[in-house]
Structure formats: C-alpha cells, structure tokens
Amino acid sequence: MKNIAILASGSGSNAEKIVNHFLGSTKARISLIASNKKGAYVLERAKKLGVPSHVFSKVALESGELTAYLKNLEIDFVVLAGFLLQIPDNLIAAFPEKMVNIHPALLPNYGGKGMYGDHVHRAVKASGDKETGITIHLVNENYDEGKIIFQTAVGIDENDSPEQIAEKVHVLEHKYYPKIIESLI
C-alpha cells in the first residue's frame, strides 16, 4: 500500500475529496495532511477525517526538514492541493515524478507565480476566453511548468462572473483530481 501526503495552504476542499476517494482503498492511503499555515482550515478537515496532520515552516520546507519528515513517514507520493509556496529542489529530488499539482486553468495559460485561485479566474474572465478548465501536472522547480498529465475544459458564458467560473472549475477539480492521482500511483 502506498502512502500519500497532501500539502495544502488553505481550506482543503480538494484534500477532503482526495481523502474520501482513498477511503477503503487497497492501493493507497492518505497518511498525512501537512500545511505551512497554522490556522489553515485544511488542518481542521484532517482532524475531522481522522488523518494525521503536521504544520511546518517555510524554513523547514527549504532546509530539507520537511523532506526528511516525509521520508521518515515512508511517504511514497506527494499531492499539492492549494499549496502556494514554491517547491524546493530537495523535495523535488526526493520525490521525482511522484509529486503532482493541480492548476485551475488550462496551462500554459494563466500559470506562474501569483496565479492561483481567484487571480486565475479573474484573468480568465478578463481575457474573454470561451473556456477554462484544470491542469494536473507533475511538479518541477518552476511554478506550473511540470509535465502535464491531464487537462479538461469547461465552457464559459460571457455573463459568468469570476466566482461562477471558479465554481465550474471546482466541479472539475473534485471530479478528476482524485482519479488522476489514483492512476499515477
């Protein structure tokens, strides 16, 4: 059985969907939900879901302390779910092609530093694009530039607000992210 760690900075709605997807799985289990923010709601979700949690600092991430912690727990695969810090080389090297992220747009559009959450949806709206979607990709040393594993799109109505675009994207995230993670393990 593979051990999965989820790294998240915010509310963790994707993390909850992933945990629920792997309940009862014989293939993998969510062994840890970790956050760089003490007050992140994802930690409350972890508690409610019965998943061990861990809070770490940016220094611990960059120094390799988090990498050592994950290795000590025998983590096999790392999932980013709303994690906003850049992943350092030590963590990438420890989990080569075993770390995945999801982006709320069709990369390479609307990716890179600072392009997350509502920033992406406002940019998509401002562009006049007729569709948006999700991109699931491997993590490398650059924001949103890892090998694309999966993309799917949803149409945008010209009257859709950024909030309505976000809702459409969340539906795709919750539907596909857990399944794609399972296929990678």
pLDDT of residue 120: 97
Using one digit for the tens of pLDDT, what is the confidence trace for 10-64?
888 899 999 999 999 999 999 999 999 999 999 999 999 999 999 999 999 999 9
Using one digit for the tens of pLDDT, what is the confidence trace for 102-121?
999 999 999 999 999 899 99
pLDDT of residue 86: 93
Q: Which residue segments constitute the domains of the chain, with CATH numbers given?
A: 1-96 (3.40.50.170), 101-176 (3.40.50.170)
Rounded Cα distance between 135 and 17, Å, is 17
Length of the chain (residues):
185
Tokens describing residue 140: 């490398």
Q: Is the dihedral of CA 161, 166, 169, 171 positive or negative?
A: negative
Binding site for (6R)-10-formyltetrahydrofolate, by residue number, is 58, 101
The mean per-residue pLDDT over the stretch 169-184 comes to 97
pLDDT of residue 10: 86
Binding site, by residue number, is 12-14, 58, 101
Using one digit for the tens of pLDDT, what is the confidence trace for 156-169?
999 999 999 999 99
A 10 A CB-CB count for 67 gives 22
pLDDT of residue 11: 85
Residue 178 predicted with pLDDT over 90: yes
Q: How confident is the prediction for the chain on average, in pLDDT?
A: 96
Residue type, 125: K
Residue 74 predicted with pLDDT over 90: yes
Active-site amino acid positions = 103
pLDDT of residue 163: 97
